[in-house]
Chains A and B, each alone.
Chain A
């Protein structure tokens, strides 16, 4: 009997084994020894500097034919100039002459074009409008350009006695636009009508180095454009999250209505009498005076027609100088000009910071105008900005890495190749998988935000490496991963 039971148990065990085996059979087996193809070995390529600027793009130029009051579109392949400024190159191509424009200031999607002082002088209003539209349409066709401001010299242009404001959309039918402006003028002069214009409002950006424009529609109930603009400035930035308001809300900044005076030299100067409260506020809030004056001057001169300078007095005291951080700016006769603050206008770029979980925070940050558009400068900007930019934010770069560790960037066929230094490589060795991922994708995502870059490859001292810290494979270019981006909530 005992033996029989043992036999039964043996049989049952055999049955179990059989099920186990048959279960395994459910998944397809097969000893395929296929392995992944290896990427081709690229020759050593010591990239130094930044050659991304030379990338040519197709741009539509809108040429003005003054006789017919219309614009004709021509597509041209245009390479950015030596400074990497595609907007300027496009305008030079449009006018066929270098001298036709003085300067293009491209700042966070807003391009401010300065024509020579006499560009508008000899033209009729309609011709002037045609010229502006030709410029605006051309520039708006360029990736990243969202608004265009046209100045003649340092002065905003007026058409039919009204401020033109900032262009934000293409205008195809110029005669219709001109007619609309004329009727607007009539209604506005009659009073009661409200004038609506897009205006470039300049706000100080976090980081304390730059002023950034925000293009917004502002309503002007009367010809006191300055008051309306200052009110809009006091309301603070609405879309540009990296900027802040320079004035406390609810305070009446202006002691008196602003008025324009004409100097002996024939220049038009806007007189602003500001409340003495402001001096205390600026001192307490930590907002630097150049940020405040710069915002005011850049905003007002970009919009108010034919304005040359702004004269500010606080509590009756004329402001004649201002600490610019690195130097002291003096304003003769208290006249603050656009050129005094030109250099303050920065640009913004989407930079990436690390989170502890290996994900990324994507923030629009104020950077120099060059960095915003150049592959070579955006990563150094990201390193220098680091985590100091906002509280709770961590740089994706490990300690010990400086801007000099980015040896060079080159762009070809939509793929940017970043050459990292040996030091960069060494500093990354101790990263964990999360840290490595956030570092690599901070760089990839930031670079691919730039126009014309779709993927990013990496070299270390000109040579291909398998990986920085073991988990991200670096022999092939990487597409960005927008899915890694998480929100940044500094308040939380």
Chain B
């Protein structure tokens, strides 16, 4: 655009001058024909000089063969001028023509010059050639030369100005685009770098969050995602190590028992029986762990399907308490059920049975002889609340947040002794969450623990 602007300004300046020159040259060529034919140099020169002096120009009068017969500056007289313009006019291919010449170097008019910025022209001249005709015959040509250095220099300075402005704009565009690129590409680059690191296994990789825009949101999302992935990964590896440890313990116990028996010779039948009994217990334990694990894996992989039906909770609680009564009695613990109204919730009967069983089982197991386990059912708005409180030893505050974690046990020995796997509460929590509910544990050390399960009445 800038270039066409330069072009426009230049052409305007020069066309005006060319038009003026044309007018002058046409008038003079009409007058000068007579003295040229009459070989009257004085009249011819008087006319030419008059026009030349008036306009600060130079006039050449050429014969039909291009020989300069009169030059107001007497420099080119007698020489043959073979400019393109003169040739075109004298050969008859044009009535008039013009061009621009740099007379700076030679003083002559052979160096055609473009009106360009890149040539440092010292003396730019406009050359206007006009045919001199008399009675339809071409008797010569008039060459009217005007200095246009001033116009040329004006144009040059305009061109320079426009160009320098353009460069300023260009530089500005460059800077701005570089800034924008920094703002756009750097966060993306950082992000992709982070993703690359993560996929390379470096899960602790985080992205620097700058400013408040879509990119910073993206970075934040990425960061929280990677935090979760890292946590998951940690949980997984911990789970795997815990699981293998848990599985290994009964196996090594059995190995010892069986080895002891194998090295006994002869085998004491009483002892064998006792050992096999122990091994049998360990197998039970293993199968419990495995079935619990299967349940969890089932839940984790989304394979667990809830068989939803209307569950009457009071009946369910009642049933489970009845199932656990023998155990409670064995441990000298009393179970109370407080349920005034029946509360129905949508849910999977078997799963919910497992939930209640597990929690009450825990309460019995971790309460000393003579304790009480109180089961309450109530309704709060659209939720059913099942509260199972015991008067047991309680859970230390530092362990409380972890009791729902897999294999987490506050007192490992006691848990083992009672046949716990450390997976019970995990499964419970998962099932409750699958039902859209929540489970919460509150405990005071030495006084007891209360589990509160809250289930939505409507799905």
On A, residues with C-beta under 8 Å from B are 8, 12, 15, 18-20, 22-28, 32, 34-39, 359, 414-415, 437, 440-441, 448, 454-455, 471-473, 475-476, 478-484
> Among the listed B38, B45, B65, B93, which residue makes an inter-chain contact with A475, where contact means beta carbons less than 8 Å apart?
B65
Whether A36 pairs with B66 at a CB distance below 8 angstroms is yes
Whether A27 pairs with B78 at a CB distance below 8 angstroms is no
Whether B77 pairs with A481 at a CB distance below 8 angstroms is yes
Contacts of A359 in B (CB 8 A): 74
The interface bits of chain B over 135-175 (1 if a CB of A lies within 8 angstroms of the residue's CB, else 0) are: 00000000000000000000000010001001000100010
Minimum Cβ distance to chain B for residue A428 (Å): 14
Q: How far is the CA of A100 from the CA of B67 in the complex (A)?
A: 50
Whether B116 pairs with A26 at a CB distance below 8 angstroms is yes
Minimum Cβ distance to chain B for residue A27 (Å): 4
Whether A39 pairs with B163 at a CB distance below 8 angstroms is no
Nearest B-chain residue to A478, judged by Cβ = B78
Q: How far is the CA of A475 from the CA of B63 in the complex (A)?
A: 11
Q: How far is the CA of A35 from the CA of B90 in the complex (A)?
A: 8
Contacts of B44 in A (CB 8 A): 479
In the complex where A22-B7, A483-B77 touch, is A448 in contact with B41 (Cβ < 8 A)?
yes
Whether A26 pairs with B74 at a CB distance below 8 angstroms is no
B4 beta carbon closer than 8 Å to chain A = yes
Whether A24 pairs with B90 at a CB distance below 8 angstroms is no
> Among the listed A20, A35, A39, which residue makes an inter-chain contact with B87, where contact means beta carbons less than 8 Å apart?
A35
Contacts of B39 in A (CB 8 A): 414-415, 454-455, 479
Whether A32 pairs with B116 at a CB distance below 8 angstroms is no
Whether B41 pairs with A440 at a CB distance below 8 angstroms is no
Whether A26 pairs with B14 at a CB distance below 8 angstroms is yes
Do most interface residues of chain B lie in helix, strand or loop, or is the interface mixed? Answer: mixed
In the complex where A35-B87, A37-B90, A37-B91 touch, is A479 in contact with B69 (Cβ < 8 A)?
yes
Whether B74 pairs with A484 at a CB distance below 8 angstroms is yes
Whether B78 pairs with A473 at a CB distance below 8 angstroms is yes
B112 beta carbon closer than 8 Å to chain A = yes
Nearest B-chain residue to A25, judged by Cβ = B7
Whether A471 pairs with B91 at a CB distance below 8 angstroms is no
In the complex where A26-B11, A36-B91 touch, is A20 in contact with B118 (Cβ < 8 A)?
yes
Which residues of B from 43 to 92 have beta carbons under 8 Å from A?
Answer: 44-45, 63-67, 69-74, 77-80, 82, 84, 86-88, 90-91
Whether B7 pairs with A27 at a CB distance below 8 angstroms is no
Whether A34 pairs with B87 at a CB distance below 8 angstroms is yes
Q: How far is the CA of A455 from the CA of B69 in the complex (A)?
A: 10
Minimum Cβ distance to chain A for residue B123 (Å): 16
B10 beta carbon closer than 8 Å to chain A = yes
> Among the listed A12, A18, A27, which residue makes an inter-chain contact with B99, where contact means beta carbons less than 8 Å apart?
A27
Minimum Cβ distance to chain B for residue A486 (Å): 10
B254 beta carbon closer than 8 Å to chain A = no
> Among the listed A37, A441, A483, which residue makes an inter-chain contact with B64, where contact means beta carbons less than 8 Å apart?
A37
Whether A26 pairs with B7 at a CB distance below 8 angstroms is yes
Whether A483 pairs with B71 at a CB distance below 8 angstroms is yes
In the complex where A26-B11, A32-B84, A37-B91 touch, is A478 in contact with B67 (Cβ < 8 A)?
yes
Nearest B-chain residue to A414, judged by Cβ = B39
Nearest A-chain residue to B2, judged by Cβ = A19
B214 beta carbon closer than 8 Å to chain A = no
B100 beta carbon closer than 8 Å to chain A = yes
In the complex where A24-B116, A36-B90 touch, is A471 in contact with B79 (Cβ < 8 A)?
yes
Nearest A-chain residue to B62, judged by Cβ = A36
| 19 contacting pairs across A/B (C-beta < 8 A) | A19-B3, A26-B14, A27-B114, A34-B87, A35-B82, A36-B66, A36-B91, A37-B65, A37-B66, A37-B90, A39-B64, A437-B78, A471-B79, A472-B79, A476-B65, A481-B41, A481-B71, A481-B74, A482-B42
Nearest B-chain residue to A471, judged by Cβ = B79
Nearest B-chain residue to A32, judged by Cβ = B88
From A34, A440, A480, A484, residue with most partner B Cβ within 10 Å: A34
In the complex where A37-B64, A482-B41 touch, is A23 in contact with B116 (Cβ < 8 A)?
yes
Q: How far is the CA of A471 from the CA of B170 in the complex (A)?
A: 52
Nearest B-chain residue to A27, judged by Cβ = B114
B117 beta carbon closer than 8 Å to chain A = yes
Nearest A-chain residue to B84, judged by Cβ = A32
In the complex where A26-B10, A473-B67 touch, is A483 in contact with B73 (Cβ < 8 A)?
yes
Q: How far is the CA of A25 from the CA of B91 in the complex (A)?
A: 25
> Among the listed B41, B65, B98, B170, which residue makes an inter-chain contact with A479, where contact means beta carbons less than 8 Å apart?
B41
Contacts of B325 in A (CB 8 A): none
Whether B118 pairs with A478 at a CB distance below 8 angstroms is no
B337 beta carbon closer than 8 Å to chain A = no
From B69, B77, B91, B115, residue with most partner A Cβ within 10 Å: B77
Q: With A19-B3, A479-B41 given, name 4 new contacts (CB 8 A).
A: A8-B174, A37-B66, A481-B78, A482-B42
Nearest B-chain residue to A18, judged by Cβ = B3
In the complex where A12-B170, A36-B66, A36-B90 touch, is A471 in contact with B42 (Cβ < 8 A)?
no
Contacts of B84 in A (CB 8 A): 32, 34
> Among the listed B4, B77, B114, which residue makes an inter-chain contact with A441, where contact means beta carbons less than 8 Å apart?
B77
Contacts of A24 in B (CB 8 A): 114, 116
Nearest A-chain residue to B44, judged by Cβ = A479
Whether A34 pairs with B3 at a CB distance below 8 angstroms is no
In the complex where A19-B6, A471-B78, A479-B39 touch, is A27 in contact with B115 (Cβ < 8 A)?
yes
Whether B45 pairs with A483 at a CB distance below 8 angstroms is yes
Whether A36 pairs with B78 at a CB distance below 8 angstroms is no
Contacts of B73 in A (CB 8 A): 483
Q: How far is the CA of A414 from the CA of B69 in the complex (A)?
A: 15
Contacts of A8 in B (CB 8 A): 174
Minimum Cβ distance to chain A for residue B420 (Å): 62
Q: How far is the CA of A454 from the CA of B70 in the complex (A)?
A: 13
Q: How far is the CA of A365 from the CA of B53 in the complex (A)?
A: 32
Q: How far is the CA of A441 from the CA of B39 in the complex (A)?
A: 15
Minimum Cβ distance to chain A for residue B310 (Å): 68
Whether A440 pairs with B45 at a CB distance below 8 angstroms is no
Q: How far is the CA of A161 from the CA of B160 in the complex (A)?
A: 88
Contacts of B117 in A (CB 8 A): 19-20, 23
Contacts of B93 in A (CB 8 A): 32, 34
Contacts of A34 in B (CB 8 A): 84, 87-88, 91, 93
Contacts of A440 in B (CB 8 A): 78
